[in-house]
Protein backbone atom coordinates (compact mmCIF):
# COMPACT_ATOMS: atom_id res chain seq x y z
CA UNK A 1 0.00 0.00 0.00
CA UNK A 2 1.36 3.43 -0.95
CA UNK A 3 2.10 5.90 1.80
CA UNK A 4 1.32 9.60 1.82
CA UNK A 5 3.70 12.22 3.17
CA UNK A 6 2.91 15.75 4.32
CA UNK A 7 5.30 18.38 2.96
CA UNK A 8 5.20 21.77 4.68
CA UNK A 9 6.79 25.19 4.22
CA UNK A 10 6.37 25.11 0.45
CA UNK A 11 6.93 28.28 -1.59
CA UNK A 12 3.83 30.15 -2.80
CA UNK A 13 4.71 29.73 -6.48
CA UNK A 14 5.34 25.96 -6.46
CA UNK A 15 3.38 23.62 -8.74
CA UNK A 16 2.42 19.98 -8.34
CA UNK A 17 5.00 19.11 -11.01
CA UNK A 18 7.73 21.07 -9.20
CA UNK A 19 7.07 19.14 -5.99
CA UNK A 20 6.92 15.77 -7.76
CA UNK A 21 10.13 16.47 -9.69
CA UNK A 22 11.91 17.57 -6.51
CA UNK A 23 11.09 14.26 -4.79
CA UNK A 24 12.06 12.15 -7.83
CA UNK A 25 15.26 14.13 -8.47
CA UNK A 26 16.19 13.56 -4.81
CA UNK A 27 16.26 9.83 -5.55
CA UNK A 28 12.87 8.73 -4.28
CA UNK A 29 9.90 7.16 -6.07
CA UNK A 30 6.66 9.12 -5.96
CA UNK A 31 3.45 8.33 -7.80
CA UNK A 32 1.89 11.77 -7.32
CA UNK A 33 2.27 15.12 -5.62
CA UNK A 34 -0.33 17.77 -4.93
CA UNK A 35 0.13 21.30 -3.60
CA UNK A 36 -2.85 22.56 -1.61
CA UNK A 37 -3.98 25.93 -2.96
CA UNK A 38 -5.98 28.86 -1.67
CA UNK A 39 -9.35 28.82 -3.44
CA UNK A 40 -9.46 32.60 -3.84
CA UNK A 41 -5.89 33.33 -4.99
CA UNK A 42 -4.76 30.00 -6.43
CA UNK A 43 -1.46 30.35 -4.57
CA UNK A 44 0.07 27.56 -2.55
CA UNK A 45 -1.14 27.44 1.04
CA UNK A 46 2.39 26.36 1.95
CA UNK A 47 1.83 22.62 2.16
CA UNK A 48 1.09 19.60 0.04
CA UNK A 49 1.15 15.82 -0.11
CA UNK A 50 3.30 13.26 -1.88
CA UNK A 51 2.17 9.69 -2.51
CA UNK A 52 5.10 7.29 -2.47
CA UNK A 53 5.42 4.36 -4.83
CA UNK A 54 4.78 0.90 -3.38
CA UNK A 55 7.90 -0.41 -1.71
CA UNK A 56 9.36 3.05 -1.02
CA UNK A 57 10.36 3.43 2.64
CA UNK A 58 8.56 6.44 4.10
CA UNK A 59 11.05 6.92 6.94
CA UNK A 60 13.95 6.93 4.48
CA UNK A 61 12.19 9.56 2.37
CA UNK A 62 11.38 11.68 5.43
CA UNK A 63 15.01 11.54 6.57
CA UNK A 64 16.19 12.41 3.07
CA UNK A 65 13.85 15.34 2.44
CA UNK A 66 13.09 16.87 5.86
CA UNK A 67 15.07 20.09 6.19
CA UNK A 68 16.06 20.19 2.51
CA UNK A 69 15.73 23.48 0.66
CA UNK A 70 13.26 23.94 -2.20
CA UNK A 71 13.22 27.34 -3.91
CA UNK A 72 14.84 28.87 -0.83
CA UNK A 73 12.46 27.30 1.74
CA UNK A 74 13.41 24.58 4.24
CA UNK A 75 10.88 21.78 3.95
CA UNK A 76 9.11 20.01 6.78
CA UNK A 77 8.31 16.40 5.84
CA UNK A 78 6.24 14.00 7.97
CA UNK A 79 3.89 11.08 7.55
CA UNK A 80 0.48 12.45 6.61
CA UNK A 81 -2.29 11.97 9.12
CA UNK A 82 -5.64 10.64 7.93
CA UNK A 83 -8.07 13.34 6.86
CA UNK A 84 -10.41 14.28 9.67
CA UNK A 85 -14.07 14.10 8.68
CA UNK A 86 -15.61 14.88 12.08
CA UNK A 87 -15.34 18.61 12.67
CA UNK A 88 -17.72 18.70 15.62
CA UNK A 89 -16.49 19.62 19.04
CA UNK A 90 -14.99 16.88 21.17
CA UNK A 91 -17.41 15.18 23.53
CA UNK A 92 -15.02 15.12 26.46
CA UNK A 93 -13.38 17.80 28.53
CA UNK A 94 -13.55 21.44 27.66
CA UNK A 95 -15.75 23.97 29.29
CA UNK A 96 -13.00 25.94 30.99
CA UNK A 97 -13.09 27.27 34.52
CA UNK A 98 -16.48 29.01 34.25
CA UNK A 99 -18.23 25.88 33.12
CA UNK A 100 -20.77 25.70 35.98
CA UNK A 101 -21.35 29.42 36.38
CA UNK A 102 -24.86 30.77 35.79
CA UNK A 103 -24.96 32.68 32.51
CA UNK A 104 -28.61 33.41 32.00
CA UNK A 105 -30.38 36.75 32.12
CA UNK A 106 -32.39 38.00 35.05
CA UNK A 107 -34.35 35.45 36.99
CA UNK A 108 -38.05 35.60 36.44
CA UNK A 109 -40.31 35.88 39.42
CA UNK A 110 -43.51 33.90 39.16
Distances (CA, A) of 70 to 2, 3, 102: 24, 22, 54
The whole-number pLDDT of residue 11 equals: 95
pLDDT, tens digit only, all 110 positions of the chain: 579 999 999 999 999 999 999 999 999 999 999 999 999 999 999 999 999 999 899 999 999 999 999 999 999 999 999 877 766 666 565 555 655 555 566 666 65
The answer to whether 78 and 3 are in contact (CB under 8 A) is no
The structure's pTM equals: 0.74
Question: Residue 24 is inside which H or E element, if any?
Answer: helix 16-25
What is the rounded CA–CA span in Å between residue 7 and residue 65? 9
Domains of the chain and CATH, by start: 4-45+55-79 (3.30.70.330)
Q: What is the rounded (10 degree) CA torsion for 86, 87, 90, 94?
A: 170
What is the rounded CA–CA span in Å between residue 40 and residue 26? 32
Query: Pairing relation of β-strands 69-70 and 30-37?
Result: unpaired
Amino acid sequence: MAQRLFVGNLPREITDTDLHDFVVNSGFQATSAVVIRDKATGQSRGFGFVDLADGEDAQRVIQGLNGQSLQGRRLTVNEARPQRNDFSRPHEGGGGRDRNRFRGGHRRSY
